[in-house]
């Protein structure tokens, strides 16, 4: 009886399946299958050609002691932890200024700030390669003209990561400004009016109204930045090639090298899973910490 009932329900709702099938087909083939297959591969030693040899968690154990991976992880974490506060800080300040009633031309400012995000990362990479060049770059021209020595932005181990951070910041401030501006516009006006009646200063209003009200949005942008940071690939690939001496090698570029230069497919699959685990844990903690006392 129960089975018959379910069957009847399926029949009555058959259009549900008709409508969902196209999405589901591609989703299963190109999302679910790779996720599972990737895990299977990560348990094997496989060069792409020939037979895969089952080695259990051997690849994962190798990752633990792989010093190049540690370097890549350190570099990526460094880029994440330096660029994110810069990006979100600048974005919040710009959004607050744009949200002031007396500031006009919002539409034009928004377009201007958004432009870096619209452009492809490869194009951004090639532009900054010449802007930051160690001998003829315009940035070095300014640095020299205010009396400092030229900086080898892209070819010194001390500066290569910082150069990537500069580019990331330039590219992502506008995008986050737009999100934060939308958040600010959602804060009820009467909160500020009440604070004004009580004699609150601009700074007090910022720290006691704006920041707490913006917390969900800041958390959202923080999580996006974290996920994005651990996917960094194009900027170092174009600008520094991960060098010099692996000083700007990112986790994804290491994964790319392992998979598509050395064809260690099993090892690269294990790296993919580690990368996913890192992103997952980082976002999970941010949600936990960010939602705090209310415990969403």
Q: How far is the CB of 44 from other proteins (least distance, A)?
A: 12
Q: Is 135 in the site for other proteins (CB under 8 A)?
A: yes
The span from the CA of 70 to the CA of 59, in Å, is 15
Task: Identify residues 197-236 at the interface with other proteins (CB under 8 A).
Answer: 202, 216-217, 220-221, 227, 230-231, 233-234
Closer residue to other proteins, CB minimum distance, 73 or 124: 124
Choose the stretch contacting other proteins; rule: CB under 8 A; options: 6-14, 58-66, 75-83, 188-196. 6-14
Of 38, 71, 77, 155, the residue at the interface with other proteins (CB under 8 A) is 38
Of 65, 67, 120, 261, the residue at the interface with other proteins (CB under 8 A) is 120
- Tell me how crowded residue 128 is: count the other CB atoms within 10 A of its CB: 23
Q: How far is the CB of 56 from other proteins (least distance, A)?
A: 19
Closer residue to other proteins, CB minimum distance, 102 or 294: 102
**Number of residues near other proteins (by CB under 8 A):** 99
Task: Identify residues 72-101 at the interface with other proteins (CB under 8 A).
Answer: 90, 94, 97-98, 100
Of 2, 3, 23, 147, the residue at the interface with other proteins (CB under 8 A) is 23
Q: Is 286 in the site for other proteins (CB under 8 A)?
A: no
Of 4, 51, 65, 118, the residue at the interface with other proteins (CB under 8 A) is 118
Q: Is 116 in the site for other proteins (CB under 8 A)?
A: yes
Q: Is 130 in the site for other proteins (CB under 8 A)?
A: yes
- Spatial neighbors of 247 by CB under 8 A, at least 6 apart, are 75, 157, 158, 160, 161, 240
The CA–CA distances, whole Å, from 83 to 4, 36, 230, 235 equal: 58, 33, 12, 13
Q: How far is the CB of 209 from other proteins (least distance, A)?
A: 17
Q: What are phi and psi of 44, to 5 degrees?
A: -125, 155
Q: How far is the CB of 220 from other proteins (least distance, A)?
A: 5
Q: Is 170 in the site for other proteins (CB under 8 A)?
A: yes
Q: How far is CA 160 from the centre of its chain?
A: 19
Of 53, 81, 182, 245, the residue at the interface with other proteins (CB under 8 A) is 182
Closer residue to other proteins, CB minimum distance, 10 or 53: 10
Of 237, 240, 246, 247, the residue at the interface with other proteins (CB under 8 A) is 237
Q: Is 34 in the site for other proteins (CB under 8 A)?
A: yes
Q: How far is the CB of 266 from other proteins (least distance, A)?
A: 9
Please compute, for residue 216, the number of CA atoms within 13 A of its CA located in the half-sphere on the CB side: 9
């Amino acid at each position: 009886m129960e089975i018959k009932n379910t069957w009847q329900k399926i029949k009555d709702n058959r259009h549900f399946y008709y409508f969902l099938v196209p999405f589901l087909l591609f989703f299963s083939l190109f999302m679910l299958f790779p996720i599972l297959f990737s895990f299977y591969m990560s348990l094997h030693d496989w060069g792409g050609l020939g037979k895969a040899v089952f080695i259990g968690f051997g690849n994962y154990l190798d990752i633990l002691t792989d010093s190049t991976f540690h370097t890549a992880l350190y570099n990526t974490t460094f880029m994440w932890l330096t660029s994110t506060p810069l990006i979100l800080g600048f974005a919040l300040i710009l959004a607050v200024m744009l949200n002031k009633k007396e500031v006009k031309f919002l539409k034009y400012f928004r377009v201007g700030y958004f432009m870096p995000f619209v452009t492809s990362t490869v194009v951004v990479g090639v532009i900054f390669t010449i802007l930051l060049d160690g001998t003829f770059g315009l940035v070095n021209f300014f640095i020299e003209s205010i009396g400092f020595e030229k900086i080898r932005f892209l070819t010194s181990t001390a500066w290569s990561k910082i150069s990537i951070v500069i580019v990331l910041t330039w590219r992502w401030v506008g995008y986050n400004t737009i999100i934060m501006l939308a958040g600010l516009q959602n804060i009820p006006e009467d909160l500020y009016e009440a604070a004004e009646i009580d004699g609150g200063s601009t700074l007090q209003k910022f720290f006691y109204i704006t920041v707490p009200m913006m917390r969900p949005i800041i958390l959202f942008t923080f999580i996006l930045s974290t996920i994005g940071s651990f996917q960094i690939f194009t900027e170092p690939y174009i600008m520094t090639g991960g060098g010099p001496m692996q000083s700007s090698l990112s986790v994804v570029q290491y994964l790319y090298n392992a998979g598509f230069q050395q064809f260690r497919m099993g090892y690269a699959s294990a790296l993919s899973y580690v990368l996913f685990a890192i992103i997952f844990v980082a976002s999970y903690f941010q949600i936990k910490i960010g939602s705090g006392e209310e415990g969403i």
